[in-house]
Amino acid sequence: VVDTVAPGGPAERAGLRPGDLLLECEGGTPCSVYAFKAAVLRRGEGEKVALRVRRAGSETPVEVAVALEEHPGLGLLRKRLGLGVRPRVVPQGDGGSTLKMFVQEVRKGGAAERIGMQAGDVLESIAGAALESADEAESLLRDAPRAQLVSVVVLRETRRGWQSRETELSLD
């Protein structure tokens, strides 16, 4: 069920309304919020994601154009950790998929650089919570005090495969 629609945003321009029930996403059934977000992440700016929604008892097709605006959670990762990340959908062995935060850039002098993070790393968790969406990053970092020490788990690809490292950093 669509909870909120940002005024003037792509969903509102496409005609989505709070209370709409997402039935299909790109022809797949059922459509969850996560499936919708994954479909958006596979698209480029201006490309459309096809949905079928139920509103007031009738089904309606809706196409939402992708607009690349930085999510507040990604902005907080940039500000508080010094990380530019790109969420990517990663297939799992069981046929499912998960969202991972791939590091694209590390700000010089930022918290992430101080613990040795590099472009190509994956930020797996913060403060013991798996980081599977920008929404989670926002809720974890929004009210955290400056200089708070938090645990992070970082994945890095090596010749032996992906290696996991847990450490602590002080938030900017």
Residue 106 is predicted with a pLDDT of 97
The confidence band for 10, taking pLDDT boundaries of 50, 70 and 90, is confident
pLDDT computed for residue 29 by the predictor: 63
| pLDDT for res 105 | 95
Question: Residue 163 burial by CB count (10 A; 0-12/13-18/19+): exposed, middle or buried?
Answer: exposed
Q: Give yes or no for a cis peptide into 145 (omega within 30° of 0).
A: no
pTM here? 0.64
pLDDT per residue over 50-93, tens digit each?
899 999 999 989 998 887 677 888 899 999 999 999 888 888 88
Q: pLDDT of 108-149, one tens digit each?
A: 999 999 999 999 999 999 999 999 888 899 999 998 998 999
pLDDT over 90 percentage in the chain: 47
- Pick from 127, 121, 117: which is nearest to 151 by CA? 127
Whole-number mean pLDDT of the chain?
A: 88
Least confident piece of the model among 1-10, 37-46, 159-168: 37-46
